Amino acid sequence: MLPEAFQQRMRLMMGEEYEDFLKTFGEERYHALRLNPLKKDQEGHTVLEKYRDGNMTGFAHLTEVPWACGGYYYKGEDQPGKHPFHDAGLYYIQEPSAMVPVTLLEACLGERVLDLCAAPGGKSTQIGAAMQGKGILICNEINAARAKILSENVERMGICNACVTNETPERLAEFFPGYFHRILVDAPCSGEGMFRKNEAACQEWSPENVELCAGRQDGILDCAARMLCPGGRLVYSTCTFAPEENEGSIGRFLQRHGDFEILPVDEEKLGFGADRYPVRFNFIDNISGLEHTLRIWPHRVKGEGHFAAVLRKTGSLREDLIKGGGQVQIRHSAAGGAVKGIAEKEAEGLEEFCRENIRLPADFRSGGLFSGIGQAVGMGEAVKGIRFGGHIYLVPGEMPSLKGLKVLRPCLHLGEIRKNRFEPSHALALVLPPEYGAHIWNLKAEDALTAAYLKGQTFPAQGEKGWYLVCIEGFTMGWGKLAGGIMKNHYPRGLRRRDFMNFIS
């Protein structure tokens, strides 16, 4: 049951299209996933290259989402969340309209990018895929529980250059004034666009909550404005229909920030029709450009309701960044200078592990151990290792100090030093291409051993003693350690699947 006040407002907004709009709430919603171009199989093919035609093992034929690279619609009976490809990070299940804001962000290799309201991680991992490990991606979430989920999804999708923080926008703005080239604000909102997907959002809706969300959005946008560098790009998005939270938020923002302008959204390039609004309307007097924002209506496209606006801060952005070329040379002293690295002699256990279990080409090692790992996982050689307690992480070489911030994940977790030995992390397995593994154990999606592995069980195996990259259809999924004819399971306890046999059966 839709709230009466919501229906009254939408009837005024929609005019003669209201009945078509209303019908969508009784129809089945569209399902989509986004293939992960960062994952490569044993032959060096990415997921996107291997399954571009939509024929993925265990799925009905996938059809493309026109506005997102790697986006595909799937059929509801496919149940991709129970497929082993999900655990291996081959795709992210994401509402199709929610893929639009990152497409509009146009993140490039080598940039400094912020996803300010990032949980659960769909948009962060989409940004990370576009950046291909080059540059610095800060993914922030104010809610601690949701920040943990964000961190897990960043790890599962193999985003190696993403730092996950659990901070307020105000706190981040103190640390990073004028620092980022691009910022995404997927703002917390009243969630009207998700009524068909989430019944709780409908039950919790009220006009008062709409006003509360609009006020919160003003504060978040002000913080984002402080953190964007001159010439930078800011994308604001919501999953609501409320004018106060959409055109209203952008209109109020432009009144407070005269150094920003709206950039037109090319809806035809995205695959939308020319008419975005059933009725043309402007909510703020004397604010031009609001007609260039984007509304996604569920009765017009295969997706839920969304809003997006692209803003630019006045000033000049370096030409090489606009074209996406080169590694950024950061001269910013945010948060007290650069992260302190660790000398390679402090990571002797990691050195020994790599020598025995990772096959890095000789030219990769010319810049040192961390440079070699950085090249192997796609970050490039401009990286360094840092130590958090007994844990070793790999970060971009120009990563600023994050001292004083709540950091859940500095970047790529390599592993842990335990009693003078090194134990690799699950994150390293997910990001490491199989071609660099000294030992590989490949499983099939329908194989009962796959179910056993994801449940945390050991299984009989014959081969050379040592650490193995356990793969699914050629894509890395985790670690195993073979000794005495038994593959010891190193799949993390917190990720083990009790329901996996549902897929096998």
Q: Residues 41-59: what's their mean pLDDT?
A: 89
Residues 349-367 have pLDDT tens digits of 899 999 999 999 888 888 8
Written as six digits, the tokens of 380 are 């490039």
How many angstroms separate the CA atoms of 113 and 90, rounded?
23
Whether residue 150 contacts residue 164, with contact meaning beta carbons closer than 8 Å, is answered with yes
Q: DSSP letter for 344, please.
A: G
Residues 455-477 have pLDDT tens digits of 999 999 999 999 999 999 999 99
Q: What share of the chain is helix, strand, coil (3-state, %, to 5)?
A: 35, 25, 40
* Position 334 confidence tier, pLDDT thresholds 50, 70, 90: very low
Q: Which of 271, 266, 235, 265 is nearest to 68 (CA)?
A: 271
How many angstroms separate the CA atoms of 101 and 310, rounded?
9
The answer to which of 56-60, 165-169, 209-213, 214-218 has the lowest mean pLDDT is 56-60
Contacts of 293-296 spanning 24+ positions with Cβ under 8 A: 293/246, 293/247, 293/250, 293/262, 293/265, 294/100, 294/104, 294/265, 294/267, 294/270, 295/246, 296/97, 296/100, 296/193, 296/272
Residues 363-420 have pLDDT tens digits of 888 888 999 999 999 999 999 999 887 899 999 999 988 889 999 999 999 999 887 7
* Position 499 confidence tier, pLDDT thresholds 50, 70, 90: low
**Residues acting as catalytic residues:** 239
The overall pTM is greater than 0.85: yes
Residue 403 CB neighbours (<10 A): 12
Whether residue 250 contacts residue 309, with contact meaning beta carbons closer than 8 Å, is answered with yes
* Position 486 confidence tier, pLDDT thresholds 50, 70, 90: very high
Residues 147-188 have pLDDT tens digits of 999 999 999 999 999 999 999 999 999 999 999 999 999 999
How many angstroms separate the CA atoms of 304 and 96, rounded?
8
How many angstroms separate the CA atoms of 11 and 292, rounded?
23
Written as six digits, the tokens of 260 are 């920003």
